[in-house]
Chains A and B, each alone.
Chain A
Amino acid sequence: MRFFACTLFLVILAGFLGVLNLNGQNIPEQNQACLKCHTSQAHTIYNDWTEKEEKRLMNPFYILDTIQLAVGVHQVFSCIDCHSMDYETYPHDGQLKLEPMMTCIDCHGGDPTYEDWQFDRIEEEFQKSVHYELHGDQFSCSKCHSQHYYRATARTSSDLREIVDYSNKMCLSCHDNMTKYQLVSEDAKPQLVDIHNWLPNQELHFRRVRCIECHTEVQDSLMVSHNILRKEHATKNCVECHSANSMLQASLYKYQNLRVRTETGENSQKSILGLFTVKNTQEDFSNEYYVIGASRIPYLNTIFALIFFATLGGIVVHTIIRIIKK
C-alpha cells in the first residue's frame, strides 16, 4: 500500500514537472510552436488538397527532449535564432535541408565574453585529433556536442559519476551506435568491449573514468583535453592512474566544482578522522576519490617501515643471542 502511494506520488510529481517543463519554465515562448510537433511521436497537419486534418508520424530523430533543452547552455535561444525563420511554416521548405548551420566557433570563436572557455584553443586541439585528421570538417564539434542539449558538466557538476557518465555518453553515442557512426565512417565500428578486453573491471572503469582520460594527453591549462590521439598513443599503463601521483589528479579530479564540496566539509572531516587529513589542500581533496595503488595516507608507509624493521631487528637480535648462548 505504501509502495503504491509512493509510486503514485512520484508519477504525479513527474507528470507535474514534465508539464512545468513543457510549459516552458526555461524554454522561450516562441519555441512552443515548433515543439508542438517536435516533441511528440505524432503530429497533426492541415492538408490543403484534401482539406482535412491528418495525423502523421514524426521522424524519431527529430523528436527533441525538452528536459535536456531546458537545462542546456543555449536554453535561452529560440529555435529560429539558429534555424531559418522559414521553418515556421509547414511543410518545411525542402531547400532548408541544405541550410548551413553555424558551428560553435562561428559564434564563440574570438569572443572575449567566452575567453574563460578557451574555444579557440579547444578548436586548435580538436584539429590535431584523429577524428579531424581522418574525417576533416565533416567531423564537426556538433558530432559530440549537441547544440540543443550541451551542458558543461565537468565545469558545473559536483558529482564525479555524472561527469564521467555525461562525457562517456558523448563518445558512446557514436562508438556504440552504428546509426550515428556511419554519418562519419563507412567502416564497421570496432567493438569497444573487445578492444578494451585487456582492462580488468572494464565496466567499472568506464563508469569511473572518462574515455578521454586514456585517449588524450593531459592538458593542465584546458578544462577538457580535446586532442583524441591515435589508438597507439592511448594509455595502457595502469600505473598512470593507479599510483600516488595518479594522472587523474590533473584531469578528472582537478575540477574546482568537485573540490568545493570537500572544502566546505573540511572541518567535520578534520575532527572525525583527523588521521586521514593532510594539510596540503590538493591532497585533502583527493581523499574523496581513490584508486587502488594510490596509497595516500600520510606517515602510513613510514609506520609500516618502522614496524617492519623493528620486527626484523628483534628477530636478528634474538637469533644472535641464541647463537651466542648455544
Chain B
Amino acid sequence: MENGKKLYLYPLWLRIWHGINALGILALIFSGISLHYSDRGILLLDFQSAVAVHNLAGVIVTVSYFLFVFGNILTKNGKYYRVKTKGLPNRLTKQIQYYISGMFKGEESPFPISEKRKFNPLQKYAYIFAMYLFLPILIVTGIALFFPEIIIEQVFQLSGIMLTAVIHGIIGFLTFVFLLVHLYVASMGKPPGKNYKSIITGWHT
C-alpha cells in the first residue's frame, strides 16, 4: 500500500512453515500453561492430555523449525534476518517513536516495506529473537525434558530438572508475549486484516 506495488514477500514454503508453526506454538502455549498450572484450571487441559498434546506439538514445532532454518539458508529470505548493529539504536528509536506518536499524527512509516526491506527494525529484531534465541532454547530444554536422564541431576543444590523446566517455562512465557505483540502489530496494516491475508496468500499489497 505504502508504495502501491504488489510484492511477493512470503514464498510458499515460508507460509507452510508459518502455518504449522503458528498452530503448533498455540498448542504448546495452551498445553504448557496447563502443565504449569497443573492444579488449578477449569479451562485448562488435564495433566495427562496436556502431556500428550505438548509432546506431539513439541515434536512438530521442532521439525518445522528446521524447515525455517534451512529455508532461510537456502533461499534469499535469509537476508531479512541479517543483524546490522551499526546505527541500530537509532533505527529502533525511530520505529518506536512512529508506533507511539508518529502513526497517530498520520506520518508515513519511517521504514516502508520494499523488496529489500520486508521488516521494519523492531519487527526484524523481534523475529530474530523469537526465531534464533527463544525457539532454540525451548527446543533444547524441551528435548532435555523429553529425556530427563540426560539432565545434570543437581546444580548448586537445585534439581537440574527444575532449572531446565524453569528456563523452559520462562522462555515459553516470553514466546507467548512475543506472540501477543506479533498478533497485534500484524493488525497495523491498512485495513487491519491486510497482513493476515498476506501471510496466507504470500502477496503484500
Q: Is the CB of B156 within 8 A of A272?
A: yes
Chain B residues, Cβ within 8 Å of A300: 166, 169-170
Asked if A268 lies at the interface with its beta carbon under 8 angstroms from chain B, I say yes
Known: A200-B51, A239-B47, A297-B166. A290 touches B159 (CB 8 A): yes
Asked if A15 lies at the interface with its beta carbon under 8 angstroms from chain B, I say no
Flag the segment in B33-41, B109-117, B196-204 that touches A. B33-41
Q: Is the CB of B180 within 8 A of A312?
A: yes
Interface SS of chain B? helix
Contact of A238 among B38, B99, B166 (CB under 8 A): B38
Digitize B42-59: 1 where CB-to-A-CB distance is under 8 Å, 0 elsewhere: 000011100110000000
Digitize B142-186: 1 where CB-to-A-CB distance is under 8 Å, 0 elsewhere: 000100110000101111011001100110010011001100100
Asked if A68 lies at the interface with its beta carbon under 8 angstroms from chain B, I say no
Chain B residues, Cβ within 8 Å of A297: 166
Q: Is the CB of A288 within 8 A of B154?
A: yes
Asked if A117 lies at the interface with its beta carbon under 8 angstroms from chain B, I say no
In the complex, A300 Cα to B46 Cα: how many Å?
Answer: 22
Can you name the residue of chain B whose Cβ is closest to the Cβ of A244?
B39
In the complex, A311 Cα to B166 Cα: how many Å?
Answer: 21
Most chain A CB within 10 A, of B156, B157, B158, is at B157
Chain A residues, Cβ within 8 Å of B169: 295, 300
Q: Is the CB of B157 within 8 A of A292?
A: no
In the complex, A175 Cα to B98 Cα: how many Å?
Answer: 70
Can you name the residue of chain B whose Cβ is closest to the Cβ of A266?
B157
Q: Is the CB of B51 within 8 A of A287?
A: no
Residues of B in contact with A (beta carbons under 8 Å apart): 35-39, 46-48, 51-52, 99, 103-104, 145, 148-149, 154, 156-159, 161-162, 165-166, 169-170, 173, 176-177, 180-181, 184
Q: Mind listing 7 A-B residue pairs with CB under 8 Å?
A: A198-B48, A239-B46, A288-B154, A292-B38, A297-B166, A300-B170, A315-B181
